[in-house]
Amino acid sequence: MRVITGSCRGKKLKTLESLDTRPTTDMVKEAVFSIIQFDVPASSVLDLFAGSGQMGIEALSRGASHCVFVDSNPEAVAIVKDNVDSCGFNKESRVLCMDSLEYLKVAKAGLDIVFIDPPYRMGIVEKALELVESKLNDGAIIVCEHEKELELGESYGRLKLHKRYKYGKTALTVYKIPMKEVDY
C-alpha cells in the first residue's frame, strides 16, 4: 500500500496483518480522492476506524492542514503512528486509541472531511453519521466505505446524499453539507 500522490507520493505504508482490518483498495482510494480532490487542500480531516491511517495520510499528502486518526485497536494505532512518522506528518496529526463513536461524542466542531470505514454489517455507519453531523463545517464532505448491500439514507440532519458508487464488494456513499447562502 502506497501514498498515491502529493508530498509523499509513492511512500510505502505499513498495514495491520489481521483479518479484523480491511485496507481500502488502491482503486477505491483513487476513486475517493478523485471525488474530493478540490476539497482537500487546507482541510481539517477526521479518519475514523483509521486502520493503517492511509486515507488521512493521503489527505495530508495532498495538502490537508490537519488530521485526527481514531481507532480502537492498539496495534492499528501503533501502525498509524509509524506511518504518520515515516511520512513526516507528526505536527499535522493527532492519533487516538479509542472507540470512534465515543470520540464523536466529545470531538470539537470544525471538520471539513470525514472518512468513515467501520467493520461491515454492524450498523455502525448510520450511528457515526448521526453523531458526526454536528461537528461539521458548512460544505463538509463525508465519505463512507461500506458493504455494497447497505443502502444508507438520503440525509442525516444537515448531511445530504451527494452520490453512491460501487466497486466490487465495496460501496462508497458520499454526503455533503450544503454551504450556507449569504445575503448581500
Whether residue 171 is predicted with pLDDT greater than 60 in this model: the reply is yes
Residue spans of beta strands (DSSP E) within the chain? 44-48, 66-71, 93-97, 111-116, 136-147, 155-156, 159-167, 170-176
pLDDT digits (tens, 9 = 90+) for 103-112: 999 999 999 9
Which pLDDT band, with edges at 50, 70 and 90, does 74 fall under? Answer: very high
Hey, which residues does 39 pair with through a beta bridge?
A: none
- Residue 182, pLDDT score: 54
pLDDT digits (tens, 9 = 90+) for 22-35: 667 778 889 999 99
Cβ(115)–Cβ(42) below 8 Å: no
Query: What burial letters (b/e) apply to 76-107, b meaning 16+ CB within 10 Å?
Result: bbebbbebbeebebeebbebbbeebbebbeeb
Cβ(46)–Cβ(71) below 8 Å: no
Mean pLDDT within 83-104: 97
Mean pLDDT within 124-139: 95
Residue type at 147 in one-letter notation = E
Which pLDDT band, with edges at 50, 70 and 90, does 64 fall under? Answer: very high
Cβ(108)–Cβ(137) below 8 Å: no
- Residue 168, pLDDT score: 87
* pTM (two decimals): 0.93
Whether residue 16 is predicted with pLDDT greater than 90 in this model: the reply is no
Secondary structure of 53-85 in HEC code, one letter for each residue: CHHHHHHHHCCCCEEEEEECCHHHHHHHHHHHH
Whether residue 118 is predicted with pLDDT greater than 60 in this model: the reply is yes
- Residue 159, pLDDT score: 95
Which pLDDT band, with edges at 50, 70 and 90, does 102 fall under? Answer: very high
